[in-house]
């Protein structure tokens, strides 16, 4: 069994595609019209055959109260791995992305949380190299 | 006047808990944190395994005592340390250094 696809609710699929590709740097993988919406996925350019992220419409009535409650408490809905959280914080900050948590050392990793402008908080994390035995 | 004394009792009750004191320490070192961030640093820096719900209740006690104030920025709620109730304590019992009395 493998994790091939996971999903995140977005307020507007086209705005979300722009943010997840132009700002974050992901690559569009599928964009198949389904009624008024689309089966819309992105992948990491570092892993084009890797897990896809489905940008799913947030129109179901249960989504808004669920997400509002998470965002109020600052809880991120998904997490992406990066090489250097501080560098991403600078890069995304220059692109106008708002962070709710700046780069923070949490022991084995450094994390930060930003607003994806589509209704979600997203955590980025970089794990520290394992201490050498030497 | 009665409300004033009750308020001060709330402050002492709020401070009479190590987890709540650690929350104030963390807000003092970086003011303006979400519940998520407070839970993350309490867990990673202090090894606290408290549930998010428990931390939320601790924050409610601190907020009732006036030691924490909250502010909405965007869609998230941020917590800030407020020293105002502590000032009321030092007004009542001013800190006097040894040098001042000699």
Of B44, B75, B78, the CB nearest to A106: B44
Cα gap A28→B79, rounded to integer Å: 38
Whether A133 maps to a domain, the answer reads no
Top CATH class, B2-93:
mainly alpha
pLDDT of residue A66: 96
B13 Cα to chain A: minimum distance (Å): 25
Average pLDDT on A106-112 reads: 93
Whether A45 maps to a domain, the answer reads yes
Chain B: residue whose CA lies nearest to A118: B75
Of B33, B40, B77, the CB nearest to A72: B77
pLDDT of residue B102: 45
Domain that holds residue A60: 5-127
**How would you list the strands of the sheet with A37-43, edge to edge?**
A5-10, A52-57, A37-43, A27-34
Decide if A74 and B35 are in contact by the 8 Å CB cutoff. yes
Average pLDDT on A94-107 reads: 94
Cα gap B53→B39, rounded to integer Å: 10
Q: List the structure tokens of A88.
A: 């991403």
Whether A113 maps to a domain, the answer reads yes
Average pLDDT on A11-22 reads: 98
What CATH number is associated with residue A113?
3.10.180.10
- Residue A132, pLDDT > 90, answer no
Chain A: residue whose CA lies nearest to B33: A101
Whether A108 maps to a domain, the answer reads yes
pLDDT of residue B97: 75
Residues A33-67 pLDDT 10s: 999 999 999 999 999 999 999 999 999 999 999 99
Residues B52-78 pLDDT 10s: 999 999 999 999 999 999 999 989 999
Q: What DSSP string runs through chain A?
A: ----EEEEEES-HHHHHHIIIIIT--EEEEEEEETTEEEEEEE-TT-TTS-EEEEEE--STTHHHHHHHHHHTT--SEEEE-S-HHHHHHHHHHTTPPEEEEEEE-SSEEEEEEE-SSS-EEEEEEEPPPPP--
ipTM of the complex: 0.85
- Residues A3/A52, Cβ–Cβ less than 8 Å: no
Domain count, chain A: 1
């Amino acid at each position: 069994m493998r994790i091939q696809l996971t999903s995140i609710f977005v307020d507007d699929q086209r705005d979300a595609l722009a943010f997840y590709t132009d700002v974050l740097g992901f690559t569009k993988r599928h964009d198949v019209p389904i009624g008024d919406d689309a089966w819309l996925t992105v992948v990491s350019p570092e892993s084009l055959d890797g897990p896809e992220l489905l940008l799913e419409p947030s129109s179901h009535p249960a989504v808004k109260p669920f997400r509002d409650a998470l965002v109020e408490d600052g809880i991120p809905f998904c997490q992406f791995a990066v090489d250097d959280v501080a560098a991403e914080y600078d890069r995304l900050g220059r692109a106008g992305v708002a962070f709710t948590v700046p780069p923070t050392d949490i022991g084995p990793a450094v994390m930060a949380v930003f607003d994806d402008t589509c209704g979600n908080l997203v955590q980025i994390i970089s794990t520290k190299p394992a201490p050498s035995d030497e | 006047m009665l409300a004033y004394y009750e308020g001060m009792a709330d402050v002492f009750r709020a401070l009479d808990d190590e987890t709540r004191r650690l929350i104030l320490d963390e807000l003092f070192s970086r003011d303006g944190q979400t519940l998520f961030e407070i839970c993350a640093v309490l867990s990673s820096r202090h090894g606290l395994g408290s549930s998010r719900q428990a931390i939320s209740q601790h924050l409610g006690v601190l907020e009732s005592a006036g030691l924490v104030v909250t502010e909405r920025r965007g869609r998230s709620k941020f917590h800030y340390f407020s020293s105002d109730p502590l000032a009321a304590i030092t007004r009542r019992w001013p800190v006097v250094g040894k040098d001042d009395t000699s």
